[in-house]
Copies of this chain bind each other. A is one copy, B any other.
Amino acid sequence: MKPYKELSREELLACKEELDKQYKEAQGKGLNLNMSRGKPEKGQLDMGMGLMSVLGADCDMKSEDGTDCRNYGELDGIMEAKVLMAGIMGVRNPEDVILFGNGSLSTMYDAVCRSFVKGVLGSTPWCKLDHVKFLCPVPGYDRHFAITEHFGIEMINIPMTATGPDMDLVEQYVTQDPMVKGIWCVPKYSNPQGISYSDETVKRFAALEPAAEDFRIYWDNAYAVHHLYEDDQDEILDILEECEKAGHPDMVYIFGSTSKISMAGAGIAAMAASRKNMDSIKKSIAIRTICYDKINQLRHARYFNSMEAVREHMKKHADILRPKFEAVLDVLEQELGGLGIGSWVKPKGGYFITFEAMEGCAGNIVKKCKEAGVTLTNAGAPFPYGKDPHDSVIRIAPSFPSPDELAAATDLFVLCVKLASLEKLLEVSGGKNE
């Protein structure tokens, strides 16, 4: 088939007539599928069930240093679980890690909240400032943006490139605008595109000379060990080490968790940062809590007792996830390849595939899918304020449905992409859609 843009108006109309018919048929099938949820499927969770028995009723419940994990204390967590999280997050020194609660989202929320309430290492609390801004590489993670919006922080879109955020723009904002206090980053297998930051990108981050002393890079290494392929994996530089080398040891907060490794919502979360940041953060969290759940820390540390064990475990996850990603990608390639109405990156890890439709089509595609029984993440969701300036990005989440369901859902998806694209082209070429 020719690219759609090369079709005459008559060809477009003929094509649309045929696709309208197919869409009506699809609507009659009573599909009820969901590609919106970035959560593990049952099989992945089953693989972690060993966690449930690693601490039995006769367990001594003691960490390696003799701490009774059932009692109060150890605000920043037990060492063996710090070792685990340092390994997962790619941080050299476990001493640079603080353990938190059951997920990293609240860890990030609390980091922003602390800055809002009390400031950063002695700087003015953000609640006392008229204006605070964050840079938001787009498309990005909607829950990051929800946090900054919640605190009334203005969000500035930074386009993603194949090697990470547009660093020229990042440098310009960060070095020139003292109101810019942070940037959200998912540096490895980014949400939603699956892009990993190049070494140059990481080094440029580390070399930033911020106008604001309380500027921090919010480095959410959520998919650090979430590879899809055994023989083709991305690795990123250690941002903490790079920041130290560049003379900016305090400029980054690293976040991570085992949510998509062990149990979603019942994992352990962690943060890594410079000693100076950590000392200040510990003082603040000591007001909020006596300690986090050390029993869950011990459970994780004993079950995942080496990085080798983590890697073996994640290989099994990949065996479940890979066919799902491929089910979606195969249909995309087969049905849309060469049509010039959309593009996508084949991710090597993470939890999402990002489809970029023709400008002005994303909302329409999502709506059409919905009306035929396939739920996608709302168009716009991967952007601050839910507004995709080009209305073109759609996040596909293949992790939860089965490969067969994904194939069926993607069949409908590509049909809707074609239809929405045709409608747009017909509109542009001067006619009416109907």
Residues of A within 8 A of B (CB): 37, 39-40, 42, 45, 48-50, 52-53, 55-59, 61, 68-73, 101-103, 105-106, 109-110, 113, 116-118, 127-128, 143, 146-147, 150-151, 259, 263-266, 284, 287-296
- For A259, A266, A293, A294, which residue has the most chain B Cβ atoms within 10 angstroms? A266
Q: A263 CA to B295 CA in the complex, in Å?
A: 9
**Residues on the B chain within 8 Å of A291, using CB:** 103, 265
Cβ-defined contact, A265 with B293, below 8 A: yes
Contacts of A118 in B (CB 8 A): 150
Beyond A102-B101, A289-B106, is A265–B73 a contact (Cβ under 8 Å)? Answer: yes
Known A48-B70, A57-B53: A266·B294 in contact at CB below 8 Å? yes
Find chain B residues with CB under 8 A from A102 CB: 101, 289, 292-293
Selected contact of A59 from candidates B39, B52, B73, CB within 8 Å: B52
Given A69-B266, A72-B264; 7 other pairs, CB 8 A cutoff: A40-B71, A45-B70, A45-B71, A49-B57, A70-B265, A105-B290, A266-B294
Q: Is the CB of B109 within 8 A of A117?
A: no
Q: Which residue of B lies closest to A287 (CB)?
A: B150
Q: Which of B50, B55, B106, B287 makes the CB contact (< 8 A) with A147?
A: B287
Minimum CB distance partner of A41 in chain B:
B71
CB neighbours (8 Å) of A284 from chain B are 150
A109 to B114, CA, bound (A): 12
Query: Known contacts being A39-B72, A113-B117, A117-B127, is A265 close to B292, with CB within 8 Å?
Result: yes
The minimal Cβ–Cβ distance linking A136 to chain B, given in whole angstroms, is: 16
A71 touches B295 (CB 8 A): no
> Considering the chains assembled together, what is the distance between the CA atoms of A227 and B70 in angstroms?
21
Residue in contact with A264 in the complex, picked from B48, B52, B58, B70, CB distance below 8 Å: B70
